[in-house]
Amino acid sequence: MNDTHLKERENILSEANKARWDLGIDLHDTVIESIYEDASRIARKAVKQKGEKAAYALDLRIDKIVTSRWLGFPIMFLLLALVFWLTVTGANYPSGLLASFLIDYMHPILKGVAASIHMPWWLDGVLIDGAYLAMAWVIAVMLPPMAIFFPLFTLLEDLGYLPRVAFNMDSLFRKAGAHGKQALTMSMGFGCNAAGVIAARVIDSPRERLIAIITNNFSLCNGRWPTQILIASIFIGGLVPAQLASVVSAGAVVGIAVLGIFFSLVVSWGLSKSVLRGEASAFSLELPPYRPPRIWQTLYTSLIDRTIIVLWRAVIFAVPAGIVIWLVANVHIGELSLAEYFIQWSNPFAFVFGLNGVILLAYIIAIPANEIVIPTILMLTVLITGANGVGAGTGVIFELNSVGDTANILHAGGWTLLTGLNLMLFSLLHNPCSTTIYTIFKETRSVKWTVVSTFLPIVLGFMVCFFTTQIWYLFFV
Amino acid sequence: MITLLTVGIQSGILFFLGVVVVLIFFWIFWPKKGLIALFSKIKMNNQRVQLEDALKYLFDCEYNKNLCNMNSIAGNLNISDDSASQLIERLLVLGLVTMDDNTISLTDTGRSYSLRVIRVHRIWERYLADETSVAQADWHNEADRIEHFVTQEDTEKLAAQMGNPVFDPHGDPIPSIDGELPEPKGKLLSNLKKGVTGRIIHIEDEPRSIYEQLVVEGLYPGMQVYVTDVDKGKTTFIANGDECTLTPLFASQITVELLSGTVPLAPKYELLSSLAIGEKAEIAGISPNCRGQQRRRLMDLGVVAGSLVSAEMKSASGDPIGYRVMGATIGIRKTQADLIFVHKKNDTNE
């Protein structure tokens, strides 16, 4: 292209730009309107419609029921409760099976093989007691609930019901500066926070999407329910007569979950009014027609897209964490192991928050999955109290079948009702697991928001534990 | 017993300390009034910022054919006369302005410098209006802050992303890269006579307190106005069907482009939110107060002038409401439905 051509082009462009000043400010709208007008004129000529009205009438009848003022919320709670109940009861058996195979059966076999080839004790410890055991644990406790929860949830989504949940819940979330679809990501978070963060993709408004991602961690995930139930039945159930114990401890766990929802709404509101005030926001909520779910496709997508991806990420993080867990308990400097050093050093600090060094260390090294926090706490407690005959060796995470035995270990570790209560609060309000943190980074592509979503809950958790503890001391001591 | 007592005292002190720490935390991070916000305000008052603001103001005077002297500069930038004279001294040394008998005017270099700053300012205003949720009254101040710190390249990239806008959200033209700007058009609303029809093309965004009021009145560029009465300087007009009276001070902030010939008076629109369940209507348009992503989203879903809409169902909590447009049902919140204009339809033709 020669110079005169270039110049000519420049001139035309600048002429065009000047012309836009004369065309005024709503040129864009006019163009879109005329496109729609043309399209609908062509459609009127070329398309004949019949039958659509009848199908829609049925949809509308269903919608009138599921969005009705009196039935809308009860139907929603019942359906979601059913999904959670199916997940919890359905996962018990396969989880037990996987645990007995991977941990009770395979672990000794691997140890035997290691011994027969005269593997050095430290290599055997790092690889089998550390890496393998952590990985096996994560698979056994994570896989079954996810494999049940995700397909059920996806089924509801495919059916067209979930958008109606968002539609019903929107006014609550609007007041918190969030999007109705956050009700869905929140519910998903009760299954798994990483999946909840991925699910936030359905929110197309940038600000509301970030809010949903940052606050998803306040949904008590599947990995934290067992911790809550165990601690509640030891410390809170123990306060009341035996026949009431299970009801009271269940109530305490539900209370923690509700507190999580409360925090999620309050933090959403705070974020939308402060740091995220300027982020773009646009509301839209399509209510697609109902349709029979495609069972196989649902199974496939929920297993591949959600279960496998999340599990794979968890396993990848579990292996190095397992190694670290084993090493901190087994590497000694002088008399004490690294774990003991850290615990003794952090105890005074932790006591201010009503926690202890064991809990802090467990939450740091068990970052890949909330599921291995309790086994790590038990292992560390045995390590520092020097209890004999419990557990499977230094640095080997374990869990006990009996709640009473677990209680004995924790009491030996100096735990009180206050410690238990604070652990329940801290389990709700702490950093997301590494899988979730990684997922948040993948979804937001922003270090800033990843850091915010990681540290905001920890700061909140320390604050809540601190004030709980101090108020407790003021009134009860 | 003694140990228990000390624990009690200590925890009292600790509790107090905890409260103090939380308060300090809020003091630092509180938006607009916190320590961090304060520091960024102090950073604003440096020399370059003042210089660029003065140039912008000088250009504004030139564009509107007003004269400009030291006092008006001091007043506009909100600085003392001393600082203003130092500032003018610097401008003179840099060859950006000339001074003739107390009247200060821009040199060619000064003009092109100020046009550059104005282009950056208006592009950012456009960006804040369309791509963020920054409140309408804050666009100008926010752009004022940003314009001194961004590079020309970043701004050009931003402009390209937005499809090279030619107007800022207040209706002001954005200067081209070569520093071209069209002649000012239109008349001030305060100068219009009774019976005149026109279209708002510009609402001045300074001073902020007046602009905020005009925003609250629901006035925006693109609105059609019909002056019904001028009495003792007060202008009464009908804008999109609603009557509105402004004092001269307020009316002079609005520039109107006259519409020639017989223009049909824009009828009073009804709002989509006024539709009861089961009612049908034809969409008349979306208010310009609905911008950027939200506007595009609605248009993508078929909310454009001429398409039919019907209210179908209420959510269990009453808001949003499900509307059927172009064969799809979409949930729209009341705040958005308030920004969509419709003509209600009688059910006879269905």
The pLDDT tens digits of the residues spanning B295-318 come to 888 988 889 888 889 999 999 888
Q: What is the rounded average pLDDT for all residues in chain B?
A: 82
The pLDDT tens digits of the residues spanning A442-477 come to 999 999 999 999 999 999 999 999 999 988 888 876
Is this prediction's ipTM beyond 0.85?
no
Task: Flag whether B158 is in a domain.
Answer: no
Task: Identify which of B7, B314, B330 has the shortest CB distance to residue A284.
Answer: B330
Does the structure show a pLDDT above 70 at B31? no
Q: Which of residues 306-345 of B touch A (CB under 8 A)?
A: 306-307, 312-320, 322, 327-333, 336
Same domain, B282 and B313: yes
Residue at which a domain ends, from B195, B227, B258 = B258
B131 in reach of chain A (CB within 8 A): yes
* 3-state SS string for A391-426: CCCCCCCCCCCCHHHHHHHHHHCCCCHHHHHHHHHH
CB within 8 Å: B132 and A280:
yes
Nearest CA to CA, how far is A171 from chain B (Å)? 6
DSSP B144-171: HHHTTTS-HHHHHHHHHHTT--SB-TTS
Q: And the tokens for B178?
A: 């070569």
CB within 8 Å: A25 and B288:
yes
CB within 8 Å: B8 and A67:
no
Residue at which a domain ends, from B236, B258, B280 = B258
Compute the distance between CA of residue B335 and CA of residue B271 in angstroms, rounded to an integer: 11
Q: What residue ranges in B52-134 does DSSP mark as E strands?
A: 97-100, 103-106
CATH number at residue B60: 1.10.10.10
Contact A66, A161 (CB under 8 A): yes
**C-beta atoms surrounding B222 within 10 Å:** 16
The pLDDT tens digits of the residues spanning A54-78 come to 667 888 888 888 888 889 899 998 9
Task: Identify the pLDDT of residue B1.
Answer: 33
Give the HSE-up count for residue B190: Cα atoms under 13 Å, Cβ half-sphere.
13
Mutation choice for B interface testing from A18, A285, A418 by most B CBs within 10 A = A285
Please state the domain count of chain B.
3
Per-residue pLDDT band at B265 (split at 50, 70, 90): low
Task: Identify the pLDDT of residue A54.
Answer: 65
**C-beta atoms surrounding A124 within 10 Å:** 18
Q: Could you tell me if residue B237 is left (phi over 0), alpha (psi between -120 and 50 degrees) or otherwise beta?
A: beta
Which chain B residues have a beta carbon less than 8 Å from that of A461?
none
Q: What is the mean pLDDT of residues A319-344?
A: 89
Q: Rg for chain B (alpha carbons), in Å?
A: 26
Task: Flag whether B83 is in a domain.
Answer: yes
Enclosing H/E stretch for A332: strand A332-333
CB within 8 Å: A69 and B316:
yes
More confident residue, B32 or A327: A327
Task: Identify the pLDDT of residue B262.
Answer: 60
Does the structure show a pLDDT above 90 at A391? no
**Cβ within 8 Å of residue B9, ≥6 positions away:** none
Crossing angle of helices B70-77 and B81-93, rounded to 10°? 110
Mutation choice for B interface testing from A463, A473, A476 by most B CBs within 10 A = A473
Q: What percent of chain A has pLDDT over 90?
A: 34
Task: Identify the pLDDT of residue A101.
Answer: 92
Compute the distance between CA of residue B105 and CA of residue B59 in angstroms, rounded to an integer: 8
Nearest CA to CA, how far is B150 from chain A (Å)? 18
DSSP A85-118: HHHHHHHHHHHHHHHIIIIIIHHHHHHHHHHHTT
**C-beta atoms surrounding B136 within 10 Å:** 18
CA dihedral of A363, A364, A370, A375, whole degrees rounded to 10: -70
Q: What is the mean pLDDT of residues A366-388?
A: 86
Closest CA to B61 of B97, B24, B18: B97
Task: Identify the pLDDT of residue B6.
Answer: 45
The pLDDT tens digits of the residues spanning B224-245 come to 888 888 887 788 888 877 788 8
Task: Flag whether B123 is in a domain.
Answer: no
Compute the distance between CA of residue A118 and CA of residue A111 in angstroms, rounded to an integer: 10
Per-residue pLDDT band at A51 (split at 50, 70, 90): low
Does the structure show a pLDDT above 90 at B41? no
Task: Identify the pLDDT of residue B324.
Answer: 92
CB within 8 Å: A287 and B307:
no
Which chain A residues have a beta carbon less than 8 Å from that of B22?
463
CB within 8 Å: B330 and A174:
no
For B285, list phi and psi in degrees, rounded to 5. 155, 175
The pLDDT tens digits of the residues spanning A5-39 come to 888 888 888 788 778 887 777 777 788 888 888 88
Task: Flag whether B28 is in a domain.
Answer: no
Contact B311, B275 (CB under 8 A): yes
Same domain, B253 and B278: no
Does the structure show a pLDDT above 80 at A50? no
Nearest CA to CA, how far is B305 from chain A (Å)? 7
Which chain B residues have a beta carbon less than 8 Å from that of A289?
329
Closest CA to A230 of A433, A375, A102: A375
Nearest CA to CA, how far is B234 from chain A (Å)? 28
Task: Identify the pLDDT of residue B349.
Answer: 44
Instruction: Tell me which chain B residue has its CA closest to the CA of residue A286.
Output: B330
Q: At B248, which amino acid appears?
A: P
Instruction: Tell me which chain B residue has its CA closest to the CA of residue A460.
Output: B22
Per-residue pLDDT band at A269 (split at 50, 70, 90): very high
Task: Flag whether B243 is in a domain.
Answer: yes
Q: Which of residues 234-273 of B touch A (CB under 8 A)?
A: none
Which chain A residues have a beta carbon less than 8 Å from that of B34?
none
Compute the distance between CA of residue B304 and CA of residue B341 in angstroms, rounded to an integer: 10
Residue at which a domain ends, from B80, B106, B132 = B106
B37-46, B179-188, B234-243, B321-330: lowest mean pLDDT where?
A: B37-46
Q: What is the mean pLDDT of residues B39-56?
A: 76
Compute the distance between CA of residue B72 and CA of residue A83 in angstroms, rounded to an integer: 70
CB within 8 Å: A286 and B316:
no
Same domain, B201 and B253: yes
Q: What percent of chain B has pLDDT over 90?
A: 10
Task: Identify the pLDDT of residue A4.
Answer: 84
Task: Identify the pLDDT of residue B350.
Answer: 40
Does the structure show a pLDDT above 90 at B345? no
**C-beta atoms surrounding B217 within 10 Å:** 14
Report CA-CA distances (Å) from A276 to A249, A271, A282: 38, 6, 14
Compute the distance between CA of residue A428 and CA of residue A457 in angstroms, rounded to an integer: 9
Contact A431, A216 (CB under 8 A): no
Nearest CA to CA, how far is B87 from chain A (Å)? 34
CB within 8 Å: A170 and B4:
no
Compute the distance between CA of residue A343 and CA of residue A351 in angstroms, rounded to an integer: 11
Same domain, B232 and B284: no
Q: What is the mean pLDDT of residues A193-208?
A: 90
Task: Flag whether B244 is in a domain.
Answer: yes
B304 in reach of chain A (CB within 8 A): yes
CB within 8 Å: B331 and A477:
no
Does the structure show a pLDDT above 80 at A329? yes
Compute the distance between CA of residue B61 and CA of residue B73 in angstroms, rounded to an integer: 10
**C-beta atoms surrounding B246 within 10 Å:** 21
Task: Identify the pLDDT of residue B2.
Answer: 37
Q: Could you tell me if residue A276 is left (phi over 0), alpha (psi between -120 and 50 degrees) or otherwise beta?
A: alpha
Compute the distance between CA of residue B137 and CA of residue A48 in angstroms, rounded to an integer: 49
CB within 8 Å: B307 and A36:
yes
Q: Rg for chain A (alpha carbons), in Å?
A: 27
Contact B283, B219 (CB under 8 A): no
Does the structure show a pLDDT above 90 at A438? yes
Task: Flag whether B58 is in a domain.
Answer: yes
CB within 8 Å: A25 and B222:
yes
- DSSP assignment, residue B310? E
The pLDDT tens digits of the residues spanning A399-418 come to 887 888 889 889 988 899 99
Q: What is the rounded average pLDDT for all residues in chain A?
A: 88
CB within 8 Å: A33 and B304:
yes
Compute the distance between CA of residue A66 and CA of residue A339 in angstroms, rounded to an integer: 54
Compute the distance between CA of residue B253 and CA of residue B240 in angstroms, rounded to an integer: 19
Same domain, B345 and B274: yes
Does the structure show a pLDDT above 80 at B268? no
Task: Identify the pLDDT of residue B281.
Answer: 92
User: Kind of pairing, strands B328-332 and B321-325?
Assistant: antiparallel
Task: Identify the pLDDT of residue B348.
Answer: 44
Task: Identify the pLDDT of residue B264.
Answer: 63
Per-residue pLDDT band at B319 (split at 50, 70, 90): confident
Report CA-CA distances (Å) from B104 to B50, B51, B70, B86, B88: 16, 14, 8, 14, 9
For B340, list phi and psi in degrees, rounded to 5. -110, 125
**Cβ within 8 Å of residue A131, ≥6 positions away:** A319, A320, A322, A323, A326
Task: Flag whether B307 is in a domain.
Answer: yes
Nearest CA to CA, how far is A474 from chain B (Å)? 6
Q: What is the mean pLDDT of residues A162-187?
A: 92
Compute the distance between CA of residue B123 and CA of residue A392 in angstroms, rounded to an integer: 67
Task: Identify which of A274, A278, A287 has the shortest CB distance to residue B331.
Answer: A287
Does the structure show a pLDDT above 80 at B35? no
Which chain A residues have a beta carbon less than 8 Å from that of B182?
18, 21-22
Compute the distance between CA of residue A244 and CA of residue A374 in angstroms, rounded to an integer: 25
Which chain A residues have a beta carbon less than 8 Å from that of B288?
25-26
Same domain, B240 and B295: no
CB within 8 Å: B320 and A170:
yes
Same domain, B283 and B342: yes
Compute the distance between CA of residue A214 and CA of residue A274 in angstroms, rounded to an integer: 14
CB within 8 Å: A25 and B133:
no
Same domain, B243 and B301: no
Cis peptide before B267 (omega within 30 of 0): no
Which chain A residues have a beta carbon less than 8 Å from that of B12?
470, 474
CATH number at residue B208: 2.30.30.90
Closest CA to A324 of A369, A365, A383: A365
Task: Identify which of B306, B329, B333 has the shortest CB distance to residue A283.
Answer: B333
Mutation choice for A interface testing from B16, B240, B313 by most A CBs within 10 A = B313
Closest CA to A221 of A468, A402, A430: A430
Enclosing H/E stretch for A126: none
- DSSP assignment, residue B197? E
CA B126 to chain centre: 9
Does the structure show a pLDDT above 80 at B32? no
Domain ranges, residue B287: 270-349
Q: At A271, which amino acid appears?
A: L
Q: And the tokens for B118?
A: 């104005």
Closest CA to A474 of B283, B220, B163, B8: B8
